[in-house]
Chain A
Amino acid sequence: MNGLTGAYVRGGSPLHRLPAGAKLAGLAASCTALVLLRSPASLAGAAAVVAALYAISGVGAAAAWAQIRPVRWFVVSLFLLQLLLADAAGAVSSSLRVVLAVALAGLVTLTTRTADLMACLERCLAPAALVGLDPFRLALLLSLTLRSVPVVAGLVTRVREAQLARGVERSPRAFAVPLVVSALRHADALGEALAARGLDD
Chain B
Amino acid sequence: MGLERWIGRWPVYRQLTGPDRLGRGKAAESPRSAALGPRTDRADRVADSVCPYCAVGCAQRVYVKDDRVIQIEGNPDSPISRGRLCPKGSASKQLVTGPQREQKVRYRAPYATEWQDLDLETAMEMVVDRVLDARRKGWQDSDADGRKLRRTMGFAGLGGATLDNEENYLIKKLFTALGALQIENQARI
Partners in one complex: no
